[in-house]
Each structure stands twice: as structure tokens, then as C-alpha cells.
Amino acid sequence: MRLPALLALALALGPDAVAEEIFSEYTDIDIEQNCTVYDQAGDDGGDWVSMICAGYRGYPVILQYSDLRESVFYGFPPIGEDAIAWESFGVFNSTGPKIEWRIERDGDVETPFATIHRWFVANPVDDNGKQIEVLVVEKVGQLSDGEGCAVAYVVATGNPNANEKARRIADGRARHFRCGDEPSVDAGSVPLPDVVRWTDNRG
């Protein structure tokens, strides 16, 4: 396609289509190398810990653990909040080490607006040790509002093209999603395990 035709196409699509680019970057959670414990159970026999980990270019990842379950917040939490909402699954679970960040580039400004993170969740109906894998799409908390939460759950087990589905949902919903609204679910042939959410981060 010649340059005049490309310019005409760009004008037809509008200025947002020209300025905006969305791409992925990946970071790893390494508890031993890039996480710091900021709160944990005392001598009362509790089993919980809260850590802050390095994320993408200054955006932190807050990882909470309690009773073989995890909850993760991506980005900057609300200022003045005593507790970050606990979002997890009712059964035992853990997160994978790699986080995919969906990033919007507008000129020289790059803003991570969503994450896609693979979770490994105990199968509540099949006690054979095989876990259900779920891609959790989360809105990234920004310095301006600290609003971060689950936007969607894409069950990767028994669900072809789960990664592509998660990216489409992240790009289409995360930036305008209001925390408190119901996350969407793409379950394929395997049901989504029960999810839980509460504001007491002790689990």
C-alpha cells in the first residue's frame, strides 16, 4: 500500500487509532530476589504474609498469602487504605512466576493498564492432583486512583486460544472497568472454580 493510501486509512480510522499502540511486556515474581515482606503473622500461629514485589517500571506487585491461597494486586493501591481487597479462589491455589502486562503507548508515554497472570487452582471436584489453570485479567492500579481488581477470568484448561482471549478482554475492558462491577468469565469446557473477594487481607 502506497503512502497516500496509508495516510488516508489513518485519517479514516481517527486520531486515536494513529496515536495508540498496545503491546505486552513480561516480568517475573521471584520471592527470594525481588520481593520484600512488609507484614506477616506473629507468634499467634497464624499462616499469612504480605509482600511487595518489583513489577513493571516502578509499578509494584503486592502479593498476599494465607492458608495455601494467594491474592495479588498489580500497580499502586489506594492511598490511605488499611487493606487491599483479597481476591482469590475458595480452594487452594497459587500463581505462576510470570506476569504479562498490557501496555498502552501514546507518543512517549507508556501506561500499563492490565495484567494477565496464570493461576493454578485445585480441582474442587476431581481429587487427582491435576490443577485447573486460570488466566486472571486484572486492572492495574494507577497513581491517580489506585483502582485495581479482577476484570475477567479465562479458564485456560479446556479452553483453546485462552491467551488470545485474555488479551482481547484486557484490551477491550480493563481501562474502563469499574471495580465493583462483575468480572466476565470465559470458561470453555471446564467450569471456573469459585472466586472469593473481601476486604480483610488476613484471609
How does pLDDT run along the chain (203 residues), one tens digit per residue?
454 453 344 445 444 444 579 999 999 999 999 999 999 999 877 899 999 999 999 999 999 999 999 999 999 998 876 568 999 999 999 999 999 999 999 999 999 999 999 999 999 887 677 899 999 999 999 999 999 999 999 999 999 999 999 999 999 999 999 999 999 999 999 999 999 998 754 44
Alpha-carbon distance of 170 to 138, in angstroms, equals 8
Residue 140: helix, strand or coil by DSSP?
coil
pLDDT of residue 126: 74
pLDDT of residue 200: 56
The phi, psi pair for 79, rounded to 5°, reads -75, 130
Q: Which three cell numbers stand for residue 111?
A: 501506561
Residue 33: helix, strand or coil by DSSP?
helix
The pTM of this model reads: 0.87
DSSP state letters, 143-189: TTT---EEEEEEE-TT-TTHHHHHHHHHHHHGGGPPBTBPPEEE-TT
